[in-house]
Chains A and B, each alone.
Chain A
Amino acid sequence: MSSTHVSTKINGQAVEYVCPNDASLLEVLRDQLGMTGTKEGCGSGDCGACSVTVDGRLVCSCLVLGVEAQGRAVETIEGMANKNQLHKLQEKFLEKAALQCGICTPGVLIAARSLLEKNPDPTEQEVRYWIAGNLCRCTGYDKIVRAILESAKELREEAA
């Protein structure tokens, strides 16, 4: 299996790695770079647990090759909090108990942040459709949806 040298940016930092050409970005993040915040669920783009953004676009990192990150900017859950200051979404997820086992949580948070960057004032339906590709087997989604809506509201109030 041939490998490729990749220069990319992860959470704002320049990163270089050599990865097998058939390795997914998810495998590179977790197994080569030790960034295990991004979770593997299905490995086939159905569950959203491995959600990251590449050049600001929400994607499943299991459906992106590590070599495709060349020259791009990748954002993962590790870059969400500002040092010890949690992101509003992270705070709200804790406050509202919008997680149980936690496997889906990093992906849901990345997806939710991506939604709020695009649409700071989503309806409940827009939230539910946006995260339709993030499967959670614990919460029944309701607490997740409420945490996202409440985060959006507080972020709007803080920005006003």
Chain B
Amino acid sequence: MQYLAPKTCAEAVAALAACDGDARLLAGGTDLLVRLQADMIEPDLLVDIKHIDTCQSIEEGPDGFVIGAAVASAELGEHASLTQAWPGVVEGMGLVGSTQVQGRATLTGNLCNASPAADSVPALVASGAVANVIGPHGKRQVDIIDIPTGPGRTSLAKDEMIESFSFPARGPRSADAYLRFIPRTEMDIAVVGVGVNLSLDENGTCTDARVAIGAVGPTVMLVPAAAQALIGSQVDAAALQAVQTACSDAASPISDKRGTAEFRKHTVGVIARRAAAIAHQRAQAAE
């Protein structure tokens, strides 16, 4: 296995394109190295993206935040203004694994590992962020929801990589939240997970909302009916109840060791209602 640590994305994608065998990108490695040690994969090439400047930084500009693909979760949590603008994205990623895993694991890895239960993905989808994808023919922007195509699979070509995520500019009275259900308090995989992102006007009326549900289908999905229930409302009890119903209706979970389909369908609604209430509370506080 060859190991490369290129300084630019151009070099990285050129190496991916030139490799005839199995080439893998290494960011935090918390999924990849487990598979490597267990001999589940035998890559011919590993491309470490942690030496590429644009993959390493959190930039805050007038158009919003840009988070590099190799930025570890712990760095997100330590970034005060990012945590203030996107508390849901940060808390979703912050639920992945232990303190040790947090020191390495990245949003990109969590997204591209393409687990239906990935904790960072519902809030990422709800945020409206896009992935900046680089390939041999240049850059393209891809909606987060279009990256995973099924468990363990993504829409990225063999010679493409995510350089960073661009988040939309944050207006006033806007906030997000991620909430999951697990049978204990820490170190577990979501039975259901929900990301809610919303904005309020001066009168407290919801003007914009996105609701994404995870672990209740092969990929994270948006629930437009839940967003519609919030938009135009005061995010009152009736709107929250409609969010719950819409999310339960939209879910198409399987039964597995973490929960039955019936339990998941019910629980995703309850968790969605609670996540929307948290996002609402945060948006009110973000005056």
Contacts and interface: CB of A to CB of B under 8 A. Distances in A.
Contacts of B48: 67-68
Of A59, A63, A67, the most chain B CB neighbours within 10 A belong to A63
Contacts, number: 85
B32 to A, nearest CB: 9
Nearest to A107: B100
Contacts of B33: 24, 45, 62-65
B3 A59 contact: no
Interface string B5-37: 100000000000000000000100110011011
Task: Give the bracket for the number of chain A residues in contact with chain B.
Answer: 20 to 34
Contact of B2 (A2, A58, A64, A130): A2
Contacts of A64: 29, 33, 104
B252 interface: no
Nearest to A1: B1
Interface in A64-86: 64-65, 67-68, 70
B186 A58 contact: no
A43 B39 CA distance: 12
B99 interface: yes
Contacts of B3: 2, 4, 21, 65, 67
Interface residues of B, number: 26
Interface in B65-80: 72, 74
Contacts of A59: 100, 103-104
26 contacts: A1-B1, A21-B3, A21-B46, A22-B1, A44-B34, A44-B37, A44-B38, A45-B34, A45-B97, A48-B98, A59-B100, A60-B98, A60-B100, A63-B30, A63-B33, A63-B34, A64-B33, A65-B3, A67-B3, A115-B99, A129-B99, A130-B99, A131-B99, A132-B98, A132-B99, A133-B98
The 8 A-B pairs of least Cβ separation, nearest first, read: A133-B98, A21-B3, A57-B103, A60-B100, A59-B103, A132-B186, A44-B34, A63-B33
Interface of B: 1-3, 5, 26, 29-30, 33-34, 36-38, 46, 48, 50, 72, 74, 97-101, 103-104, 186-187
